[in-house]
Amino acid sequence: MTDRNQYTPREQYTPGPAGGAQIRKERGQNGEEKWTLILVRELRHSPEKVWQALTDPAHLREWAPFDADGNLGTAGAKVKLTTVGAPVPRVTETTVTRADAPEALEYKWGGFDMRWELEASGGGTRLTLWTNIGHRFIAMGAAGWHICFDVLDHLLSGTPLGRMVGPEAMKCGGWQRLNAEYGKQFGIETPNWPPQAAPKS
């Protein structure tokens, strides 16, 4: 990124309203609650181009909340995923369980199931992510992925914003609003995050 005295696309970036997300509650094998966050985003790019962005480590480094030390595009591949912006480095090894290019990709990230589906749609791609997540973090997760998908869209359009994840995403102007909007959509209380950022009324 350049440090010129002009607005970069990143400085002008404001996320749009919350949308394209739903949650599902299921019972796990031991009767525990399992929550799944489902996010859908329409991208103006071909499934092949989106697939590359989901699987290629160099592309993932530009938009995803984790780095990969190998390509995720082959079933059976063992890849280390390092969470970006975590307070302590968090590395998990995953095995890609499904890789049907350019339609479906499945693996785990830090104990969370990640299932991506890509569907050709109106000259672009309908991208759907299913991921299980702790109930308390659903709105935050939806807000975070919303921003990741915006960054992905800009990257594929040739106007990269640079990755915005973790604490950095929370500083982004629209993150608090998105967190609150998704919380309202899902009917869950959203804690003020980070706590010290709570406005005094």
Domains along the chain with CATH numbers: 19-63+115-188 (3.30.530.20)
Residue 87's contacts (CB-CB under 8 Å, 6 or more residues apart) are none
pLDDT of residue 6: 62
Category of 166 on φ-ψ map: left (φ > 0), alpha (ψ -120 to 50) or beta: left
pLDDT of residue 197: 42
Tell me the per-residue pLDDT of 19-63, one tens digit each, with 9 for 90 and over. Answer: 999 999 988 788 888 899 999 999 999 999 999 999 999 999 999
Distance of CA 183 to the CA centre of its chain: 17
Tell me the per-residue pLDDT of 190-201, one tens digit each, with 9 for 90 and over. Answer: 655 454 444 444
> Using CA atoms, how far apart are residues 33 and 89, in angstroms rounded to an integer?
28
Determine if the pTM surpasses 0.85: yes
For residue 75, the tally of other CB atoms under 10 A from its CB is 14
Tens-level pLDDT at each residue, the chain (201 residues) = 444 456 677 888 999 999 999 999 988 788 888 899 999 999 999 999 999 999 999 999 999 999 999 999 999 999 999 999 888 879 999 999 999 999 999 999 988 999 999 999 999 999 999 999 988 899 999 999 999 999 999 999 999 999 999 988 998 879 999 999 999 999 987 655 454 444 444
Q: Note whether 41 and 127 are within 8 A (CB).
A: yes
pLDDT of residue 201: 43
